[in-house]
Structure 1
């Protein structure tokens, strides 16, 4: 089991420790008067949940469920945590999610698997198109469901699911303004205002805007982001609310799409981390418009409906130089090609969830019946200009770039336009739709023993508009779980879940159509509310098996005589342990800490035959990772000091090169003034550590982490 037994033994010890500890703390708290016992209900006294800890999330069940009663690992990153870390995009927060590390752009590694599975308010519709990183201006909190999520959310990779909960209008007047300054030319301004319309208590609005620009530490690169949002909310009655939202993103990233910096096989950078293959005229430009409509209605105290529709319109244009590697072995002259690409997509989704709470046969049931539909139309066109002379020894349409002494300005769209006009566009046009129907029952058999079970049917279809080819899949996914609470502050849980990843259209020579890739997860753990409910601690151990994985056909005749290039014989196993704790150590001291151990390997199919696999292992999947963030209040100074650490262990790149372990430290000072204004200074990468955030392929190198930076924020809430 390759270390899994050790992980299981560790978890067993933690289960016993948490159980015993939880009982002891429960008894201690009752004796000290820290809890009030009102019959069957325990009321927690204190400041728990005010900063970083929340006690409830609906992500894992689609019903309001206490995290302690959820038989799967869930994390919630609060708005306060986002603000304290001065996070502007989701990559700023990976330290706070156990089992999640950076892969590339908006992609992550979750429980060993590369993926980009996200939702907004629980539904599909990603406005960032994969190469731009999600921005956090309009986000209230981030929820993370660990592991397989197919029964509730349909097709996807088995490592986990990130859900962005958006801000909504408030029926009381309020708002915030913020100014941001920093090194490398960082400056920005943002603000929002919310409240009732014309003094009415049944209609509310929210308007917000965000603008920020900065230079990157990489040559020629930078960011310019603008976000606008408008929302309205209407309560026609005490049991009904309708919320309409409109968002617009205008993202311009000069000198992008960023690749890495070349390294040797030991993972050492071969030049300064500012090196960039892109010219100053290169860019990534994204425009997205998002419309969302949410209806909630309570038919009765025990029966409620949530209906949400979302439409996303994206257009993303990229012009960039891609490294082709050294002109000759050992050369510092790197060949390049110029890529001109345009992506458009239109996505629409609708989700309906009906929740019925009732006592049946003496047991409390929460029954969920739901369905979702997702439709997408996507186009892609691209053309590529390459170097005439493969050794780069004579002038060509795309000039090479020296690794040590780069000279820019000899290549780019304007210089290559005549040649590009002679190159035909490569085009794809696809459309797809998928729908799912699901049912789930949460049963409280006794106060101490809860069960959950559910099933989902999925249908998927994709069509190539140019060739007329199509592919379709169907799948049924199940889940089951149990929670046992020996004392109210402690829960022991076990769960089983299934998921699938539908396979799209394949080239006739590759074989197919292929069945969905399937995954199964077994997870067990313990959750405990410690120190009178101030701290929520979770320990989880999991085993994920992904099968039906498509691999290169080992037959020597593959690709000839009708023998397909691909076959569906692969299997991947991921095993690991995750430890999380969040809450208040004292009234002044709050923290969030996590640790993850993971072992992901090929257990079926030839080594290296699976995408992202390097031999038996997987790229950018660390065995160990640790994250910490803590805040301490200084009441006499009307201030707080905060800081954190992010450790990611050794990994390998897609080309098998070492990606070295690193530890980065951050620090923050926050002061509130008498007039209500707040000042905050964040120093990221405090000790200016040079490190690789992840690895890619040898010709493009590793993605370097950002050097030390300073961010100053001045804000006021009203």
Structure 2
């Protein structure tokens, strides 16, 4: 018995001694903005590890005394490690703050952005490589998904107010960049079909970024003002799931879901699924809409050297095409308030249905530490089914052929068609050193193709009825127009009475249509480029050049098919100097190239041949990171010159005659600020001064005229403050305002007024629930975001509210 007692006491003593010599280790892992990094990996030894929980906390218990290396890693961030000595302490705490890494394996964006901030650190599109925005010698503006959420933005048009120098031109996917109207659309750095219709939804978008100024050295033919790139959400290596429900003004009902995480234990297979649905009306008459998005994404990381990503995005829009608000004509004075902003032209039976499906496949393979290959391919298919009553862009004619300012001329368009785009981007990245110089060399090939196949067609009903039957829109037939009892011409489609509007279920059989099948079309372009990012001490030099070939095919797939080729070499030079650890100063020179349309080049009546539109830009500025790198600020000063703009000569004897207007200039200053001033105070702010004018023209009246929808001043600010105190913990306040100066339209006598709009909201976070309430246009300011003429203006939304409830798990 004594022996058993002795052994028992010895065991207890040893266990007590072991317990006294073991230590508990805990800590918290956050990013540079103080955001917990859920899912971060923590390794205490080769076989002992854990992951951070939802709040970024981790822990190890009963760790024996000894020497350890505590290692922390998280995808997209620079890993950290600490040497740990344990000598029987009861508990030790080690916290980590990880910084985003711009030197990731991927040179194409295959895995997602993990930060949760208004600030974005890296862009892939501006240089084809993962480069810190601070190190790019060109202005790059952006809006992150965190801003989308706090502003309850649902479409691209809702967020461009956060970007300096970008202004809406109309309700469509249609903007001005530094005074130049937008052209092609880009997704993940790849060119797709520009849809002149429904605004793209944001449910599957990680961020919207604008590369300012000419970007042809990277993207080929593009406008001189800049390009907008939409980056889709990619899978993350940690589990995140969120659902959100929104209701609001104009019978708005929305829901979104975002699920992501690893599929297998090794985290070599990741997934993401974004879903969205909307059913809502509008402050605009007849403009109800239904839309949805289904967007799955898979990332496969089979080895440390290879990464593959596949995206599929399915979108649908079912509504009407809003052609804008008409007002009384110029002969009645240019009273922009002559009709209410809710006023829309159309009929109850009109519809606009679009289906867009696109898929992206991206590959990154690293042969060695210094050499990698990268490729991205997108297939984009857009289908449209349209029936609309719309303005004929002129007012009704009286018996003498004079316009009647309160009666709108109308036309009916019925259209069905499909457009297909294919884009391939492939390039090698090679890193090397020559003495004190560090090189990152990019050499690649891009191919872009867009076509409309056989079967696209539309029909028109327009003009006035003829006495002998039929209809005509030609002024030469005015004497033969059928007349009513007052002697006025009888329209093919009844005029729209701006003083007494009526909406009906239209009978298309009442109109005389002209069928207009569309000839199949195709264009393709390709470019070979090389770029070197050279780093020496505090200097970073970017040298690049691209040889671009643009091929436009008329009578595609027909016996008389004809190809027209235009080409241009496009240089790019930029220099960045690190003036301090926080501030970089930069300067750049770059060019753009826009080929003339094949219809203009091949039409002998047009008066050609015509030179391509080309532009160049000088830009200088400064980029800084402040408040412990939580806040980014970019300042840019630029000058852009655009030449050989093609416009109609307005020759009454030859309506096809064109002329090259000469020259346009844009110069200005821009400022963008994004990030956090305090851990609980986020802000995004911008200001732009842009003087975009016509400087050379055969028409003396045009010289010195400011370009359309290009305000001299515009800007905005939006911020969110979250209370930290015990009594108000979880409550957040949002406040924002944006202003836009006066803008010209396509009508010389019509100018859109300046405006200031304010938004305010409140949110509450409790556990995993988030409730947001936002009032847009708090003071109910009547304003116009863009416009063409008296027949087509685009008013901004009056005061409205949005209430959302979200759950993260």
Write the mapping of 1:171-320 to structure 2, written as runs, cut at 5 A: 171-197=237-263, 199=265, 201-254=267-320, 256-262=321-327, 266=334, 268-320=336-388
Aligned to 1:88: 154
Q: Is 1:267–1:658's contact at 8 Å kept on the other side of the alignment?
A: no
Identify unmatched segments of 5+ residues in structure 2.
Answer: 1-79, 81-95, 101-114, 466-480
Pair 1:377 & 2:451 matched? yes
Distance 2:700 2:526 in 1: 34
1:200 offset after TM fit, Å?
5.3
Q: Which residue of 1 aligns with 2:598?
A: 505
Q: Is the 8 A contact 1:116 1:130 kept in 2?
A: no
User: Retained in 2: the 8 A contact 1:458–1:474?
Assistant: yes
Pair 1:644-2:736 in alignment: yes
- Return structure 1 stretches of 4+ with deviation > 4 angstroms: 44-50, 263-267, 328-331, 389-397
Residue 355 of structure 1 is matched in structure 2 by 429
Residue range with higher mean Cα deviation, 130-139 or 619-628: 130-139
Q: Name the residue aligned to 1:386.
A: 462
Q: 1:343 aligns with which of 417, 421, 445?
A: 417
The answer on whether the counterparts of 1:357 and 1:367 sit within 8 Å (CA) in structure 2 is yes
Residue 206 of structure 1 deviates from its aligned partner by 2.5
- Contact 2:221 2:595 (C-alpha < 8 Å) held by counterparts: yes
Matched, 1:661 2:754: yes
1:633 paired residue number: 722
Q: Report the secondary structure of 1:509's partner residue.
A: helix
**Once the two structures are superposed, what CA deviation does each residue of 1:332-366 show, in whole Å capped at 9, x if it has no partner?**
23231111122311111110121112111321111
Q: Which moved more, 1:106-115 or 1:464-473?
A: 464-473
Query: Is 267-276 or 168-177 further displaced after alignment?
Result: 168-177
Query: Aligned to 1:399, which of 451, 476, 494?
Result: 494
Aligned-residue offset at 1:266: 4.7
Aligned twin of 1:7: none
Equivalent positions of 1:589-608 (< 5 A) are 589-607=681-699
CA contact (8 A) 2:493 2:511 kept: no
The total of aligned residue pairs comes to 660
Q: What whole-Å deviation, never above 9, does each CA across 1:651-690 have from its counterpart, x for those lacking one?
A: 111112010001111122221122x111111211111111
**Contact persistence 2:173–2:195 (CA under 8 A):** no
Correspondence for 1:17: none
Of residues 47-56 and 230-239 in structure 1, the stretch that sits farther from structure 2 once superposed is: 47-56
Q: Give runs of aligned pairs for residues 105-144 of structure 1, distance below 5 A.
A: 105-126=172-193, 129-144=195-210
Shift of 1:119: 1.2
Q: Which has the higher contact order (CA 8 A, sep 6+)?
A: 1
Q: 2:677 aligns with which of 569, 572, 585?
A: 585
Quote the Cα distance in structure 1 between the aligned partners of 2:443 and 2:636. Answer: 28
Report the 3-state secondary structure (helix = DSSP H, G, I; strand = E; otherwise coil) of the residue aligned with 1:82: helix
Bigger Rg over Cα? 2
2:611 counterpart SS class: coil
Aligned-pair RMSD on alpha carbons? 2.5
C-alpha deviation, 1:418, in angstroms:
6.1
- Whole-Å separation in 1 of the counterparts to 2:415 and 2:251: 28
Secondary structure at 1:417's aligned position in 2?
helix
CA 1:213–1:449: 2 relative to 1, 3 Å: same
Shift of 1:514: 3.0
CA contact (8 A) 2:696 2:703 kept: no
Q: Secondary structure at the match of 2:327?
A: coil
TM-score by length of 1: 0.87
Superposed CA offset, 1:50-89 (max 9, x none): 5211232233212222222211111221111111111111
Matches of 1:55 and 1:290, distance apart in 2: 27
Secondary structure (helix, strand or coil) at the match of 1:585 reads strand
1:462 alignment partner, one of 546, 552, 555: 552
* Separation of aligned partners in 1, 2:270 and 2:685: 37
Aligned-residue offset at 1:594: 0.9
- The equivalent position to 1:619 in structure 2, one of 705, 708, 711, is 708
Equivalent position of 1:548 in the other structure: 644
Q: Distance in 1 between matches of 2:635 and 2:614?
A: 26
> TM-score with structure 2 length normalisation?
0.78
Structure 1 residues 330 and 513: CA distance shift in structure 2, 3 A: closer
CA 1:281/1:553 → structure 2, altered by over 3 Å: closer, same or farther? closer
With over 3 angstroms needed to count, the CA separation of the structure-2 counterparts of 1:267 and 1:301, relative to structure 1, is: farther
